[in-house]
Amino acid sequence: MLEHAQRVLDTEGRLRHLLAATTIVVEELELSHVLRRIAEVAVALVDARYGALGVIAPDGTLEQFIHVGMSEADAEAIGHLPEGHGLLGAVIDTGAPIRLEDLHDDARSVGFPAHHPPMDSFLGVPIRVRDEVFGNLYLTNRSSGPFSSEDQELVTALAATAGIAIENARLFGETRRRQRWSAALAEVNAALLSGSSENMLHVVADRVASLVDADLVSVVIPSDNGEAFLVDTARGEGAEALTALRFPAAGSISARAVESGRAIATDDSDDGVMFGGAVDVGPVIAVPLAASGKPLGVLTLCRRRGSLRFTEADLEMASEFATQASVALELARMQADSRKLELIEDRNRIARDLHDHVIQQLFATGLTLQSVAASAGGPERTILERQVEAIDDAISEIRTAVFTLRTRSASRAPSLRHRVLDLVGEVTESLESAPRLTFGGAVDLLVAEDLADDVVAVARELLSNVVRHAQAATCALDLRVTDAELTLRVDDDGQGLGAVTRRSGLDNLEVRAQQRGGTFEVADADPHGTIATWSVPLSTTPNGAEA
């Protein structure tokens, strides 16, 4: 009777421990914390030396492996974590508990890697979330002998509670992710519809990068022929290496997203090319952005290699975001077009007023002065003739301004000259003084469209470097074209190259020049500042072949 009473007391104590363990598990809402607490309380519940919880990936292997009882030094010495083979795989395959007095006696045990601590008794129990096997709980080396059937029942009961806790943590995490996506979308809508002159795709990348769980966020835009992508903007780890980068579309997840018109997710094992190998990334989501049925670009969310893959919920939320953001992009574009029409109307009105009123008044004044000069003599005649010449020069300059206003408003696409002017206008607010801008030669006549895209990208990178790194008071941009060569030069009076520690963006500019058979040089100026010169021949194609 005393032995029976003792067994009753022991059982009652273990049930109290199970109740306490259950309470501890359900208190957490962060999934990573929940998984570790499950492993910890299971070890304490059955007095095991080691414990682990494996999360099953969609392909049946282990996606995560949380271990308890093993030191970090031992884990590092072992190297890679288990992949779900042997006994661990058997628990996954059968979906039922496995209890062994000595795991080495089981034929399914495939041995331990070097530096693995010795283990004997084994208990593995599946963790179910509704009808889905989420993972498995593994316990080894019970201190007082092999695991008993009672141990198995206790751990099985804990696993049932753990399934509920995991489901709650999953729902909580998904709710928070949806809130972050909603917040990102709200900020994007507000920024796009505010009428700001900020680049629309930059707005999308900035807001998403600050709110979603990704290590690198970028927006890439397709080339006109669809054979390549240009990184328009990038935020996060490795962003410097992607500045103004052009990479082949073939085989990339970005191309697949544009072709399919929907969000696509990959993991570390994906064989698609991302950024042409410029940076090493792990799991990726690529989300196409469109307006008026035409692709504007692809929003990419990247995590480090070895990180958790994006879930189906992440993919769904990214797709919803892209749909709503595309609507906002379309509205923003309509607003921009409306403002351009207003600007065109203003330009035409100003041009008419200059032509119909100002020029005519100046012309009449010149005729009057010319008639007076004809009847005057001596120095007065000379002075009057000079004033008539000055009026003629003013009329010529006004006619040039009228032609520029009307030509720009009538053009379907902005010229390279106007694109550079707009780019300089974008960065002016970030500098102490407006950059000095000079043009030489037939810039708009001799420069082809694909080269113009490269020139704008190079100018954007160089001016961005001045804004971000140079700490310059003034800078100057000079764009000159001859019959044989185009030269873009950017000077600043900043701190020079001595403080530059990352040159990935500059290296990309050098690659652009080399692809066109040209050169890129950057050096310290005298006495201080930097001089960057990008020069390419006009007679070659981007591959360096003769045109």
- List, in order, residues 6 or more apart from 538 with CB less than 8 Å away: 446, 447, 451, 481, 482, 483, 484, 485, 486
Q: What is the DSSP string of 143-160?
A: TTSSPPHHHHHHHHHHHH
pLDDT confidence of 455, banded at 50, 70, 90?
A: very high
Quote the tokens at residue 340.
Answer: 């351009």
pLDDT confidence of 419, banded at 50, 70, 90?
A: confident
The proportion of the chain whose per-residue pLDDT surpasses 70, expressed as a percent, equals 80
- Residue 288: alpha-carbon gap to chain centroid: 13
pLDDT tops 80 at residue 510: yes
Note if the bond before 97 is cis, omega within 30 degrees.
no
Which is more confidently placed, 489 or 158? 489
Residues facing residue 521 across a β-bridge: 533
pLDDT for 3-16, tens place per residue? 655 555 555 555 66
- Could you tell me the CA-to-CA distances from 227 to 6, 116, 254, 256, 543 in Å, in that order? 78, 50, 11, 12, 13
- List, in order, residues 6 or more apart from 344 with CB less than 8 Å away: 409
pLDDT tops 70 at residue 272: no
pLDDT confidence of 410, banded at 50, 70, 90?
A: very low
89 phi, psi to nearest 5 deg: -70, -30
pLDDT confidence of 83, banded at 50, 70, 90?
A: low
- DSSP state for residue 81 in the 8-state scheme: P
> Rounded to an integer, what distance in angstroms lies between the CA atom of residue 243 and that of residue 462?
11
> Rounded to an integer, what distance in angstroms lies between the CA atom of residue 502 and that of residue 150?
61
- Could you tell me the CA-to-CA distances from 360 to 357, 389, 398 in Å, in that order? 5, 16, 11
Which of 64, 75, 46 is closest to 135 using CA atoms? 64
- List, in order, residues 6 or more apart from 416 with CB less than 8 Å away: 443, 444, 447, 452, 455, 456, 479
Question: What is the reported pLDDT for 518?
Answer: 93
> Rounded to an integer, what distance in angstroms lies between the CA atom of residue 51 and that of residue 70?
9
Question: What is the reported pLDDT for 299?
Answer: 86
261 phi, psi to nearest 5 deg: 75, 20
The helix (run of H) or strand (run of E) holding residue 59 is none
- AA identity, residue 256: R
Q: What is the DSSP string of 153-219?
A: HHHHHHHHHHHHHHHHHHHHHHHHHHHHHHHHHHHHHHHHTTT--S-HHHHHHHHHHHHSS-SEEEE
Give whichever of 70-79, 192-201, 245-254, 322-331 has the largest mean pLDDT: 245-254
Question: What is the reported pLDDT for 14?
Answer: 59
Quote the tokens at residue 136.
Answer: 């498995």
User: What average pLDDT is seen over the chain?
Assistant: 77
> Rounded to an integer, what distance in angstroms lies between the CA atom of residue 291 and that of residue 397?
40
Quote the tokens at residue 329.
Answer: 């992009």
Which is more confidently placed, 276 or 517? 517
Q: Coil, strand, or helix at residue 125?
A: strand
pLDDT tops 90 at residue 63: no
Quote the tokens at residue 317.
Answer: 């939320």
Question: What is the reported pLDDT for 547?
Answer: 40
70 in Cβ contact with 100 (< 8 Å): no
Residue given tokens 């099953």 in the structure block: 56
> Rounded to an integer, what distance in angstroms lies between the CA atom of residue 299 and that of residue 295?
11
Residue given tokens 């006495």 in the structure block: 527
pLDDT confidence of 411, banded at 50, 70, 90?
A: very low
- DSSP state for residue 271 in the 8-state scheme: -
The helix (run of H) or strand (run of E) holding residue 118 is none
pLDDT for 173-231, tens place per residue? 778 777 877 777 777 777 666 655 556 677 777 777 766 778 888 888 887 777 888 88
Which of 491, 454, 452, 489 is closest to 472 using CA atoms? 491
pLDDT for 85-144, tens place per residue? 667 777 777 778 888 888 877 767 766 666 677 788 888 888 887 777 777 888 888 888
Question: What is the reported pLDDT for 16?
Answer: 66
Which of 123, 297, 314, 312 is closest to 220 using CA atoms? 297
In this structure, the chain runs to a length of: 547
pLDDT tops 80 at residue 494: yes
Number of other residues whose CB lies within 10 A of the CB of residue 346: 12
Which of 280, 311, 281, 265 is closest to 63 using CA atoms? 311
117 in Cβ contact with 103 (< 8 Å): no
Residue given tokens 């909580």 in the structure block: 172
- List, in order, residues 6 or more apart from 46 with CB less than 8 Å away: 123, 139, 142, 147, 151, 154, 155
pLDDT tops 50 at residue 428: yes
pLDDT for 375-397, tens place per residue? 877 788 888 888 888 888 777 77
Question: What is the reported pLDDT for 85?
Answer: 64
This model's pTM is above 0.75: no
pLDDT tops 50 at residue 457: yes
Question: What is the reported pLDDT for 486?
Answer: 95
Residue given tokens 């997710």 in the structure block: 265
pLDDT tops 60 at residue 500: no
- Per-residue pLDDT, averaged over 406-429, amounts to 72
Residue given tokens 């003013």 in the structure block: 394
Provide the terminal-to-terminal Cα distance of the chain, rounded to the nearest Å: 102
- Per-residue pLDDT, averaged over 338-346, amounts to 76
- Per-residue pLDDT, averaged over 69-73, amounts to 76
Question: What is the reported pLDDT for 481?
Answer: 92
- AA identity, residue 196: S
Which of 153, 142, 161 is closest to 97 using CA atoms? 153
pLDDT for 294-314, tens place per residue? 777 888 888 888 777 777 777
